[in-house]
Amino acid sequence: MLKPHRKLVFKETFKTLNRDVWNLEVGEKWFNDERQCYVDSPKNLQLTKQGLRIIADVNPAEKKCRYQSIRMNTKDKKEWQYGTFIARAKLPHGKGSWPAIWFLGHDIGEVKWPLCGEIDLLEMVGHDPEVLHFSLHSQLHNHIIKTQRTKFQKIPGIMEGFHDYKMIWRPEGISFFIDEVHYVTFEKKPGDSIESWPFDKPYYLIMNIAVGGTWGGKIEEQDMPYMMDVEKIEVYQE
């Protein structure tokens, strides 16, 4: 388990949607055979008393974009290299939902995925509720070739109410926690190349709900809308 950082360098409580921090990604075609279109719409992104609400819903009137959701990121606006990250969030219910809070390397436009690296602070799929996944993806260790560094944990009751999802990222490794309970640390190994450990450069934050796809699975429209609430994001460094 790694030592946490102590200096608060970023805090987001979503009193407004700050476009100087957040980008809204928009488009019809996405990875992993996902079925949603991502939109920039107040129907799918709302501010509530508890913070930000991401909504994935069905729109029967739309043939090309039957499912609409939100994918937002901090690319080129807020990026970090190392730190302690805390996301206080409430997970969605529903088969076909695929919520995630995660990070991609800032150089993805140059080197592409998976060489850019991916850090998954939180992933879950609705057909396997209460099972949380923490993963690292790289050129040599990723889900396409089934070699990712990953930990999954069933946590009864985790989908009820808000919980703190925390990651401590240091040069020597990355640790993951929920409500201050430590679940796994992935350590950088001696001799790791950038193809194996690309986690020594700036990364940007992403939050989204995907719909269906190769992992999200069969969509049960009666379970929609899927909603993920995010009360706050905090980042600490030295």
Q: Counting beta carbons within 10 angstroms of the beta carbon of residue 149, is it exposed (0 to 12), middle (13 to 18) or buried (19 or more)? A: middle
Residue 41 located in a structural domain: yes
Active site residue 123: yes
Instruction: Show the 3-state SS of 213-230.
Output: HHHHCCCCHHHCCEEEEE
pLDDT at 111: 96
CA separation, residue 176 to residues 2, 84, 109, 130, 168 (Å)? 9, 10, 27, 16, 7
Residue 42 located in a structural domain: yes
pLDDT at 198: 98
pLDDT at 22: 98
Residue 171 located in a structural domain: yes
Range(s) of the domain holding residue 21: 7-237
pLDDT at 11: 98
> Comparing C-alpha atoms, which of 205, 182, 192, 202 is closest to residue 2?
182
Among residues 25, 62, 110, 123, the one annotated as catalytic is 123
DSSP 16: S
Q: Residue 121 pLDDT more than 90?
A: yes
| Greatest extent of the chain over all pairs of C-alpha atoms, in Å | 55
pLDDT at 206: 98
Residue 209 located in a structural domain: yes
By three-state DSSP, how is residue 109 classified? helix
CATH number for the domain spanning 180: value is 2.60.120.200
Residue 32 located in a structural domain: yes
> What is the Cα–Cα distance from 227 to 93, expressed in whole angstroms?
7
What is the count of structural domains for the chain?
1
Residue 163 located in a structural domain: yes
- pLDDT classification of 168: cutoffs 50, 70, 90: very high
pLDDT tens sequence across 50-103:
999 999 999 988 878 999 999 999 999 999 999 999 999 999 999 999 999 999
Among residues 34, 62, 79, 118, the one annotated as catalytic is 118
Residue 2 located in a structural domain: no
Share of the chain above pLDDT 70, in %: 100
Residue 1 located in a structural domain: no
pLDDT at 64: 87
Q: Are 10 and 238 in contact (CB under 8 A)?
A: no
Q: Which tokens is 224 given? A: 């929609």
Active site residue 231: no
Q: Counting beta carbons within 10 angstroms of the beta carbon of residue 166, is it exposed (0 to 12), middle (13 to 18) or buried (19 or more)? A: buried
pLDDT tens sequence across 3-60:
999 999 999 999 999 999 999 999 998 989 999 999 999 999 999 999 999 999 999 8
> What is the Cα–Cα distance from 165 to 77, expressed in whole angstroms?
22
pLDDT at 178: 98
Q: Is the peptide bond before 225 cis (omega within 30 degrees of 0)?
A: yes
